[in-house]
Amino acid sequence: MKLLHKHIEKDESGSARLIPEHPEDMWHVYNLIQKGDQLKASTVRGVKSESSTGSVTTDRVRIKLTISIEDVFFDVQAGALRINGRNIAENRVVSIGQYHTLDLEMNQPFTLIKSRWDFISLQRINDACDIARQADVAAVTMHEGLAVVCLVTQYMTVVRQRIEVPIPRKRRGSTTNYEKGVERFYEQIYRSIKQHIDFDIVKVVILGSPGFLRDQFFDYMMAQAVKSDDKIIMGNKAKFLRVHTSSGHKGALEEVMRDPQIKARLADTKSAQDAKTLDSFYQMLNNDPDRALYGYSDVRKAADNGAIGTLMVTDELFRAADIPTRRKYISLVEDSKATSADVLVFSSLHVSGEQLSQLTGVAAILNFPLIIESDRESENENSSSDEE
């Protein structure tokens, strides 16, 4: 996602102009848009015209519309986003108050106007526009003279740089030109890794190649790091994972990701980390139930007591059509963060997000036991006493 312009007033109203660049961006836009927001975008509309002879023709013209959003439909498989609403701005083709459906497309800019840009919406824009914040796996695939540096997110793989360096052939009696070409090639890969990979976020860097090229490059990189006292590369040596690939092209990553041993090594990535946290919650629920709560009411009480260590929330709760419902979950997140709790927003497209949805969509692991009389228990006790 590319942010072209953002203007937020002191009362938190404002607008953002964005361009979706990848299929995953449509998912982010779907999570940004709420009923009651205003959307300004280009669209195609059929316009009927009648000639002097009485014949009617329909021409499709591209116009700019601003609608007040009433319905949003997202097709996950196709990545298609359709927004329905009433036109609220003067237009030569569409009257004010007339309904129209806008189809948002990749690489087409749009402007989203909100009466209140809350914390979750602003964070969503930051995450969508900064690909490095999403990617906790990086990969460099290579064969002689070609390397591709990628960042791997939960939903896609993004190429950050493609490196092509001509390497002279080895000549009988002299390999000087060949060795210089290889060194230039390795140097560019080394610089690209330092430029595009944030080791504070990335947990694994895959080095893949046919033959022994990956090992030779790794030895070169570590030697250069020692020579230049590069503490970042030396300090993250254990994050590099060398694997065999059939080529240096991006497509070779698919065979890597299917390898069970690689899957085990990548178990600490974001989606796996969400699942791991949810497993910890279930274990806590069995072994120490006073430190594991779910449901808004109980979790809200835990937040009021400053007891939350980890808060888990599904993103679909922030898409609630009812504004007060959406705001109460945003308040829960902000209050939990204020007490230094870790907040994980689970994607409802992921298995762990579906599991969390079955627990009402919100759950918490507490720092200390907290005995809370749930509303359901109180209702049961009251009904029992009434019967007596």
pLDDT tens, residue by residue, 226-250: 999 999 999 999 999 999 999 999 8
Question: Residue 215 half-sphere exposure, CB side, CA atoms within 13 Å?
Answer: 5
pLDDT tens, residue by residue, 313-362: 998 898 876 778 888 999 999 999 999 999 998 877 666 788 899 999 99
Share of the chain above pLDDT 90, in %: 55
pLDDT tens, residue by residue, 103-119: 998 899 999 999 999 88
pLDDT tens, residue by residue, 151-167: 877 656 778 899 999 99
Mean pLDDT computed over 112-139: 84
Instruction: Kindly write down the DSSP assignment for every residue of 118-154, as one continuous string.
Output: -HHHHHHHHHHH-HHHH--EEEEEEETTEEEEEEE-S
Given this model, what pLDDT does residue 127 score? Answer: 80
DSSP E strand boundaries for the chain: 2-8, 14-19, 38-50, 56-75, 80-87, 99-104, 110-114, 137-143, 146-152, 157-164, 204-209, 240-244, 292-294, 308-314, 342-346, 362-366
Residues in the chain: 388
Question: Closest Cα to residue 362, out of 307, 312, 306, 297?
Answer: 312
Tell me: pLDDT of 381 over 70.
Answer: no
